[in-house]
Chains A and B, each alone.
Chain A
Amino acid sequence: MGVNDRMDLAATIVLNGLTLAALYFIVASGFSLIFGLMRVVNMAHGSLYLVAGYVGYAVFEPLYDRDVWWAWYAGLAAGIAAAAIAGALMQKLLLGWMQGQELRQALVTIGVSIIAADQLLALYGGNPRQFFAPDAIFGSTQVPLVGGYPTFRLVQIGIAVAVGVSLWLLLNRTRLGMMIRAGVDDREMLGACGVNVPLVGVAVFALGAALCGIGGIIGSTAQPLAMGQDGRFLLISLVVVIVGGMGSVTGTAVGAVLVGLAEQLGQALFPTYSVILTFVIMVAVLALRPQGILGRA
């Protein structure tokens, strides 16, 4: 292999890692948001990914069969809405009234995830599905060093950046963001100021779930949607957030990039042991900085 070929290969691996990291960031940012602001470990986060994917597909499929150009966008909207509603309901009905009992809340979400996975299997069966990206973002684009590269994967990076920036703006520059951050620091005082705190909690949950919903549709366009993906994306969210730092948008981005790159690099260099690399990173971070790379102590 010449030097040029090797450069090309390295560039492809890095680009693959970044596109994967983009998907991981979108999914994990929702997990991180809910954890950071509500102190809830949402073990049903992977289920929200599945809910978005399956509901989105149910909307997408008939439209796609009729060759409507906006079929994918409709699926995206439906998936996001379904996940957001599911998340809001979970907070409203189950988690809201045990605020502060973190372990119990985690157990409740585990129960929800078991039931959700089983009911989705009953409703939609075990066959894998996959969205077809709309023509505008289908096909391939020329990238320097790499050559032709799927356009949709590049769009994925764009969406992740957009999600990250808008999330940061929302939390730091809007009234809702202000209320959310105030609620983290002192719930009771925020309530005394006349803010409906439980409603803010439901909003945060819906937002976090909606982010996972975006991830669900994007992810199911890039790779097949099937049962078992819930566990995979829950695990990825956990690792990304543990590595990057809990509840920090930038930390989640750093974690996602590290995990995405490690996964692709590992698969290229030592395929059967690639999983270990991800966990070596996690263990190293835990040993040196238990709060995560960018986490607050």
Chain B
Amino acid sequence: MRDRFALFALAGLALMVAAPFLLQAVLPANQAQFWTANVLGRAVVFGIIAMSLTFLATYGGFISLAQMMIAGVAGYTVAVFVEGAVPRIVGGLGYGLAIPLGVLAATVMGLVVGAISVRTRDIYLLMITLALSMGVFRFVETNIAWFNGYEGIRNVVGPELFGLGFRDPWLFYYVALGTAALLLAGVLYLVRSPFGLVLQGIRDNPRRVAALGYDVALHRIAAFGVAGFIAGCGGVLATIYNIGISPGSIGLGATVNVLIMSVIGGLGHPVGAFLGSLIFTVFDTFAANLYDRDRFNTLIGAVFLIIVLVSPDGVIGIGARLRRLLGGSKP
């Protein structure tokens, strides 16, 4: 079953690599570019952030609502330290230093969140991570000296690569896709390692794992650190995609959106995060044509609610269910 998922992921990756070319063949040039940058690119970037949640949920059983906030920590770190951001808070660093610094900050934040919530599970964990991320949001929103308050920090454009601006649609898309593929491969490798197996043991029965002599708390905190690293990579890309960052991008809405993506895709496999974010982004882009321009939230809320009510394991779960229905009871 796992191998079939891996095959599925490879096929998906190939499709994503080819997508800009396919789009260009089918659609007029400006529409193809829009799809590449604003639908696929955005979906991949937010898919990375959603995957950090899916990773925790799938292999550790932790539903953390802090992942968007952690991504925001990376984004804010880059925006505060990089040269050229407006307003200049600290500045002086090039992207080559600022981006690793941002990812590092997110990893540390992930470890901190993991440490704070280490004695809680399930809905308690959900409540505490939500409270933590709302706390950071309120802090960032009211602090002018470091984060420029409500306005946020603008003009984070990313480095130049191969003589192209980072926000060139094709370049950005392939960098994002490459990052996502590497992170996904890393996650799939990690969960087969001893660390990953202990993590899954903790998900199934923490007391037994403790009785075997493993340090449950340390493994949990480390898992949150890994998720923080993933979210940090996504956060840096999202900040460059938005040409800056403001408190709204880590607010309650953004936090819940990441949860929606993960749940719609399915919390059973990390690939679900990308499926979910793609569905979410397509809905977001075309909600105006479906229901009402301003009522996107009702639409996506209803989709989310239906998924939770009908198929708690998301789109992946629907797929598995259909296969079972059509193909008899193949395991």
> Which residues of A come within 8 Å of B, CB atoms?
39, 41, 94, 102-104, 106-108, 110-112, 114-115, 117-119, 122, 231, 234-235, 238-239, 241-242, 271-276, 278-279, 282-283, 286-287, 290
Contacts and interface: CB of A to CB of B under 8 A. Distances in A.
B153 to A, nearest CB: 17
A290 B120 contact: yes
Dominant SS among interface residues on chain A: helix
Interface string B15-42: 0000000000000000000000000000
A282 B128 CA distance: 9
A269 B130 CA distance: 26
Contacts, number: 103
A42 to B, nearest CB: 11
Given A272-B143, A275-B135, A275-B142, A115 B312 contact: no
B173 interface: no
Contacts of B301: 111-112, 114-115, 118
A273 B135 CA distance: 11
Nearest to B127: A238
B68 to A, nearest CB: 14
B119 interface: yes
B144 A272 contact: yes
Residue in B117, B128, B144, B300 with the greatest tally of chain A CB atoms within 10 Å: B128
B302 to A, nearest CB: 6
B89 interface: no
Nearest to A110: B256
B131 A238 contact: yes
Contacts of A119: 298
A103 B128 contact: no
Interface in B120-153: 120, 122-124, 126-128, 130-132, 134-135, 138-139, 142-145
Contacts of B305: 108, 111-112, 115
Considering the complex of A and B, which 4 residue pairs feature the smallest CB-CB distances, nearest first?
A: A114-B301, A111-B305, A118-B297, A115-B301
A103 B122 contact: yes
A106 B304 contact: no
A289 to B, nearest CB: 10
A273 B143 contact: yes
A234 B252 CA distance: 10
Interface string B230-270: 00000000000000000000011000100110010000000
B295 A122 contact: yes
A115 B256 contact: no
A287 B130 CA distance: 17
Contacts of B127: 41, 238, 241-242
B3 interface: no
Contact of B126 (A103, A239, A279): A103
Interface in B302-320: 302, 304-305, 308-309, 312
Interface in B281-300: 294-298, 300
Contact of A103 (B123, B144, B145, B256): B123
A235 B134 contact: yes
B272 to A, nearest CB: 15
A271 B131 CA distance: 20
B138 A275 contact: yes
A271 to B, nearest CB: 8
B131 A239 contact: yes
A272 B312 contact: no
B56 to A, nearest CB: 13
B116 interface: yes
A46 to B, nearest CB: 9
B116 A286 contact: yes
Contacts of A102: 122-123
B63 interface: yes
Given A110-B304, A238-B127, 5 more contacts: A102-B122, A106-B126, A111-B304, A111-B305, A282-B135
Given A114-B300, A114-B301, A104 B308 contact: yes
A288 to B, nearest CB: 10
A108 B302 CA distance: 10
A244 to B, nearest CB: 13
A137 B312 CA distance: 50
B139 A276 contact: yes
A239 B130 CA distance: 10
A290 B119 contact: yes
A115 B297 contact: yes
Given A115-B301, A117-B297, A231-B134, A104 B312 contact: yes
Residue in B139, B252, B304 with the greatest tally of chain A CB atoms within 10 Å: B252
Given A279-B135, A286-B128, A272 B145 contact: yes
A279 B139 CA distance: 10
A290 B144 CA distance: 33
B143 A235 contact: no
A110 B259 contact: yes
Contacts of B312: 104
B65 to A, nearest CB: 9
A161 B139 CA distance: 31
Given A118-B297, A242-B127, A286-B116, A278 B122 contact: no
Contacts of A239: 131
Contact of A279 (B124, B132, B142): B132
B119 A286 contact: yes
B312 to A, nearest CB: 6
